[in-house]
Structure 1
Amino acid sequence: MRITKEYNERKNEILDAAERLFRLNGYDKCTINDILKEVSIAKGTFYHYFKSKEEVLDGIVLRYKDMVVNRANEILKIDDIRPEEKLMGAFMSMSIINQIDGDMLDDMHKIENALLHQKMLNQIVIAMAPILVKIIEEGTEKAGWNCRYPLQYMQIFLASSLSLTDEGIFELDDDSQMKVMAALISMLEKMLDVPEDSFMRLFMQNQG
């Protein structure tokens, strides 16, 4: 058991160091030797944990994805809330802003970190869509939702909402951001064939 703990601790040290270097210098400019110096380990030790620099990047992305998925799964387990509240809660759980300091968020949005950014969005869409489908199935059963292509609709909604609300991609003022959110929520209501403003009221309550 102790060996497993030491293995995970060392692996996380490498991921932490690589993430700092990727953010500060950009993924492309950072080398495996830079990571070795940052953690003070030999090259053989590095390759014991990771096959390549890209695998390190994948490990960093996996940690953020797991954080989002775990929060969404906790919401999925709640039995005493309406499907509308559950779906909105799952969407809100995807925000990682509160888990990342401002400087780090700015670094992630740098052009040299586009690959990290792209991989993170990609993995969140892939992981979250099936979770949202489960909520849609519950909403269909309990609230009469009608969604013809649940998985595909959720993939489209996630990809568009994560991109359009990402300040590193689109620089929008407060008014424009609210209009984008209103349009996205209106699109969601049409996808689920529910009455207008079914989700907008919940969104406004969460904002308040």
Structure 2
Amino acid sequence: MARTVKPEEFAAKRGEILDAAQRLVLTKGYEQMSIQDILDYVRISSGAFHHYFDSRRALLDALIERIQQESEKPLLPIIHDPQLNAIEKLQGFFDTLDRLRSARKADVVKLVRVWYNDDNAIVRQKVDDAVLAQRAPLLTKIVRQGIQEGIFTISHPDKAGEVILSLLQGMGNTHARLLLSLEHEANEQRNVEEIVSTHAAYMEAIERVLGAPPNSLHRTDAAAVKVWIEAIRENSDHA
């Protein structure tokens, strides 16, 4: 006779398995992570695992879905705030993502260290695709509001969210590479200046894509960059 599991117990154990998978992806890489690793971490049997997930691929899909849901929640209040104009919403969108990263600096630094390894290529691409599918419509909604307000002038608003996110992903990849290179680069000031100028270049590109007024979006500064440099160094000291 099959064992009956209460919905809350099922959700809790499923979440525990996802927590283990997320930690293992960050420490071993997705390609090196096996189902046996999950079983050992959570201390469950293969049969128990397959009660929650049909396969390793199904586990990855569920992990990506959870990341999507968690990252979307704090953005929705900004999108739906009737008091904000389009520029304020767009800047609020960016600021919220920055605050989420800053609140978990130590975890973000650890993630960056392994995120660009070949062993995480599959999960990295899947996360990028999921983020694009999730956030592009939100950004497009902001862009349409900006067109109605006369703030933005763009010929292809339906593609605006996708273009903005492509720029943000490119900027994020460049920033990660520059920050990590500080561990082997003696000239800190040069890297700080490059990160600041890179951020300014991408923000200017987004403004031009949207036809927004120049300097309508915030640029980062050296002080903000140095906060992340300190986080990188602290992580190195404890590695």
Q: Does 1:184 align with 2:214?
A: no
Change (3 A) 1:80 1:165: same
2:148 aligned partner = 141
Instruction: Give the Å deviation of 1:116.
Output: 2.2
Out of 50, 62, 67, the position equivalent to 2:65 is 62
Q: TM-score, normalised by structure 2?
A: 0.75
- Partners of 1:131 and 1:50 in 2: CA distance: 30
Moved more, 14-23 or 55-64: 55-64
Q: How many residues align?
A: 204
Instruction: Give the Å deviation of 1:133.
Output: 0.8
- Partners of 1:150 and 1:93 in 2: CA distance: 23
- Partners of 2:194 and 2:42 in 1: CA distance: 43
Q: Does 1:88 align with 2:88?
A: no
Q: C-alpha deviations, 1:23-78, integer Å up to 9, x for none?
A: 22221122112211211112122112112112212222222222221121121122
- Partners of 1:144 and 1:108 in 2: CA distance: 37
- Partners of 2:62 and 2:32 in 1: CA distance: 18
Instruction: Give the Å deviation of 1:165.
Output: 2.0
Q: Does 1:114 align with 2:118?
A: no
Moved more, 139-148 or 5-14: 139-148
- Partners of 1:4 and 1:72 in 2: CA distance: 28
RMSD: 2.5
Q: How does 1:1-208 map to 2 (within 5 A)?
A: 3-95=6-98, 96-98=100-102, 99=104, 101=107, 102-166=109-173, 170-171=177-178, 173-199=191-217, 202-203=218-219
Give the aligned residue type for 1:88.
Q
Residues 147 and 191, structure 1, Cα contact 8 Å, conserved in 2: yes
Give the aligned residue type for 2:31.
D
Instruction: Give the Å deviation of 1:87.
Output: 0.8
- Partners of 2:134 and 2:12 in 1: CA distance: 25
Change (3 A) 1:55 1:108: same
- Partners of 2:6 and 2:82 in 1: CA distance: 39
Change (3 A) 1:163 1:144: closer
Change (3 A) 1:194 1:176: same
Change (3 A) 1:4 1:143: farther
- Partners of 1:23 and 1:64 in 2: CA distance: 14
Change (3 A) 1:27 1:141: same
Q: TM-score, normalised by structure 1?
A: 0.85
